Structure 1
Amino acid sequence: MNHAAPSAPPAPPARIWLCADDYGISPGVNRAIRDLIERGRLNATSVMVVGPAIGRDEAAALLASSAKSPRCAIGLHATLTAPFQPLTMHFRPLAGGMFPPFPKLLRAGQLHRLDPEIIAAEIARQIAAFRDLFGRAPDFVDGHQHAQLYPQVRDGFLMAVKEKAPQAWVRQARRNQPLGKRLTSPKALFLDYLSTQFRRRAARAGVACNPAFAGAYDYSRKVDYGALMRSFLDGLPERGVVMCHPGFVDDILVSLDPLTSVREVEHAYLASDDFARLLAANNVTLA
């Protein structure tokens, strides 16, 4: 009698990080992020301690929401670009008392006109502010507008994390996709390039990185966010990071950031049944 071979057990789902950036930039963004955490649709968020919507109450609200999730990481969204102000007195360069716009910071780093020690001092102060708000070090540290990847900035960034939050992992932005797919997005290709050096320096410093990254796209164009999310999850390995920016638009957000209505599109999709089905279809979990 022929006996059918036993079928292999299904592969366990890959656990990834779905991280909402910019907690602290505005009350509407904060509410949207907490809503998704409580629904189990996010398992990480990074906090802007220099934002106008962060303080004891907003930190406590985030901790309460994350307590309802099986495991939600809370990290520091290190911020070094306008229109935000540094926490240290001697930060340079400044633009009208604020951090410089990101093109200026990037260019200064490429021309070796930054002082990594000054960068490290500011990041260390932001880590201290996070500790003061949350009672502990951040689980991870990433960067607003990917500033942690910029030349010279990355040296000061890694120096501060290694000293002040040595158990935290840091976010790099290299994708886990074939070259042909990577070539379709100039922005993502540039992040790949910056991340190559960042990863090497992090490894030398003994600071852990995420193995892969997804989530970057052209925010100026109308897109099918569900289709984008499918592409983000394609081939993403265990512990890979997908960056997102959900939020509800309010006046404070409009005054600070050009990324507005797309945040509501992202929130609506991440809260939807379609997103839950997509996770299941890709054998991916946030739990």
Structure 2
Amino acid sequence: MNGRAPPRRIWLCADDYGISEGVNRAIRDLIGRGRLNATSVMVVGASIGRDEVAALQDVAASSPRCAIGLHATLTAPFRPLTMHFRPTDGGMFLAFPKLLRAGLLRRLDPEMIHGELRVQLTTFEELFGRAPDFVDGHQHAQLFPQVRDAFLRAVKEAAPGAWVRQGGRNQPLARRLGTPKALLLDILSAQFRRRAASVGIAFNPAFAGAYDFSGQPDFGGLMRQFLEGLPEGGVVMCHPGFVDQALISLDPLTTQREHEHAFLASAHFPPLLAANQVTLA
């Protein structure tokens, strides 16, 4: 009798479906290969519509338990779906640092954020014919002060069966202190988890996937770190994609997306999952 514990099921979630056709194609390719089991959709993206939604639904239907969520978006260069949303900058949402600063200084209007998120949730339901399986946030905006309560209220009202993504890790303190971006997510996520629990919304027990995109590091080596010790139900965030002009115009994360896709599609990825006793199935 084999006493080895069964593999832990984790979520490997590709963010940003809808930002560009190249990103959409890469995500669908990986879902079809069984290399992803979740993706989150930007309903404010430049490349979201009936055809892109139908293509995603088709490939997800052939992949057991592939979750499709809403990638709630509140930062530039994207534009609100609601009229008279404030604050904006040139008709766009505030840039990520400005939104975080405004939240910390309590200068945001939670009702406007709540209204915008309700419209994004409704738009998702109109496109997919159902509520999202989960809800996360572009650039982790769902974790920000003032945003988080509006976010959780909107999810509770419009998608009560969905779980939400928190960004806290399950790693030793020494490793957490060595990655400032991930450490900030840990701090913001602690309050987010408490608020989610208080209103009865489920969330992932652990998170991985944050890294400095600018240096184009070895994604295979990073994935090895992300999987280490990740518990059942943990989430690894990724951003695979093929670079196109729409992506270049909207996001600084470009060629690294192709490196992520290449590793996840490669023969090296399944043995790494097995070595860490995790599965996407």
Structure 1: tracts of 5 or more residues without a match: 1-6
* Residue number in structure 2 paired with 1:3: none
Give matches, 1:35-46, under 5 Å.
35-46=29-40
Amino acid of the residue matched to residue 49 of structure 2? G
Q: State the distance in 2 between where 1:183 and 1:79 align.
A: 28
Q: State the distance in 2 between where 1:118 and 1:199 align.
A: 22
* Residue number in structure 2 paired with 1:118: 112
Percent sequence identity is: 74
* Residue number in structure 1 paired with 2:54: 60
* Residue number in structure 1 paired with 2:224: 230
Match of 1:251 among 232, 235, 245: 245
* Residue number in structure 2 paired with 1:208: 202
Q: State the distance in 2 between where 1:222 and 1:72 align.
A: 28
2:187 equivalent to 1:193: yes
Q: Deviations over 1:55-91 (max 9, x none)?
A: 0000000000101101100000000000011011121
* Residue number in structure 2 paired with 1:148: 142
Q: 3-state DSSP class of the match of 2:68?
A: strand
Match of 1:139 among 121, 133, 136: 133
Amino acid of the residue matched to residue 236 of structure 2? V
Q: Tell me by how many angstroms 1:10 deviates.
A: 1.8
Match of 1:158 among 142, 152, 161: 152
Q: Tell me by how many angstroms 1:117 deviates.
A: 1.2
Structure 2: tracts of 5 or more residues without a match: none
* Residue number in structure 2 paired with 1:88: 82
Q: Deviations over 1:138-165 (max 9, x none)?
A: 0000000000000000011011001110
Q: 3-state DSSP class of the match of 2:151?
A: helix
Amino acid of the residue matched to residue 236 of structure 1? L
Q: Deviations over 1:191-246 (max 9, x none)?
A: 00000011011111111110000000000113111110000000000000000000
Amino acid of the residue matched to residue 146 of structure 1? H
Q: State the distance in 1 between where 2:216 and 2:91 align.
A: 34
Q: State the distance in 1 between where 2:251 and 2:2 align.
A: 50
2:2 equivalent to 1:13: no
Which is worse superposed, 87-96 or 73-82?
87-96
Q: Tell me by how many angstroms 1:9 deviates.
A: 2.2
Question: How many pairs align?
Answer: 281
Q: 3-state DSSP class of the match of 2:79?
A: coil
CA RMSD of aligned residues (A): 0.7
Q: State the distance in 2 between where 1:128 and 1:262 align.
A: 32
Q: 3-state DSSP class of the match of 2:44?
A: coil
Q: State the distance in 2 between where 1:8 and 1:23 align.
A: 41
Q: 3-state DSSP class of the match of 2:214?
A: coil
Match of 1:271 among 265, 270, 280: 265
Which is worse superposed, 254-263 or 8-17?
8-17
* Residue number in structure 2 paired with 1:32: 26
Q: 3-state DSSP class of the match of 2:213?
A: coil
Q: 3-state DSSP class of the match of 2:6?
A: coil
**Once superposed, which parts of structure 1, at least 4 consecutive aligned residues long, lie more than 6 Å away?**
none
Q: Tell me by how many angstroms 1:25 deviates.
A: 0.1
* Residue number in structure 1 paired with 2:44: 50
